[in-house]
Amino acid sequence: MFGCLIEKAFTTPDNYPLTLAAVTAAANQKTNRDPVMELDEVEVARALDALANKFLARRQWPANSRVEKFSHNGKDAFSLEAGPLAVLAELLLRGPQTPGELRVHVSRMVTIDSLESLYAMLQPLIERGLVERLPPAPGSRAERYAQLLSPDVYPTGNKPIERSDEYAALQERVKDLESRLARAERQIVRLAEKLGMSLEALAQAGREDLDLE
């Protein structure tokens, strides 16, 4: 429901906030959804109550309205601007997506001039723990991004790249190599000092020895 409220705030601002019936229709929408759902108003009302209890949605009684309406509270709850909020909504509505897919789909809500602009929108979501970066799907070379507000809705079966055991092991190997290199450099400097030579002279002497061999 949270994604639906954000989406409609962007795409149908004249009809926003939404009545319970309108939220239900948005949740059961046949386009821009994966999976397509069939919820009744009781289930939608229960979900909206849960969002309101978490301060992610607000109940409103606009002027001249006879029915209660609902709006999202994403901007204040997560301190997000329009772009990142639209990206989060898209991931909630359609699950994990590649950068190319996200750029196309989110563009119906906000303008995204380039992939660099998309990455700038993803960054605050990742920093706040709302989105994670995933490895490519089988048969693909493109990374994917998934929302973490409701991770059980779109199980991926993958570990995020940033948290994978392989990535951590690679980082440790790089740190070890950097440490060894720094130690070797210190030893060479000390050797040059003992011999009363500059590093350049010591390096030249080494190259001459190799030539003699």
Residue 73: per-residue pLDDT:
95
pLDDT for 206 equals 64
Provide the 10 A C-beta neighbour count for residue 87.
Answer: 29
The pair of structure tokens assigned to 86 is 């639209």
Phi, psi angle pair for 75, to nearest 5°: -60, -45
CA distance 197 to 106: 63
Cα gap 212→36, rounded to integer Å: 76
The pair of structure tokens assigned to 4 is: 């639906």
Taking residues 76-80, report their average pLDDT.
93
Contact by Cβ (8 Å): 89, 147:
no
Per DSSP, the three-state class of 105 is helix
Residue 163's pLDDT band, with cuts at 50, 70 and 90, is very low
Pair of tokens at residue 105: 């789909």
What is the structure's pLDDT at 171? Answer: 60
pLDDT at 165: 53
> Residue with structure tokens 């639906």?
4
In degrees rounded to 5, what are phi and psi of residue 146?
-135, 145
Average pLDDT value for the chain = 86
In 3-state terms, what secondary structure has residue 115?
A: helix
How many other CB atoms are found less than 10 A from the CB of residue 170?
11
The answer to whether 94 and 34 have CB atoms below 8 angstroms apart is yes
Record the tokens describing residue 204, joined without a space: 């030249």
Read off the tokens for 195: 């011999």
Q: Say if residue 28's pLDDT is above 60.
A: yes
- The two most distant CA atoms of the chain are separated, in Å, by 97
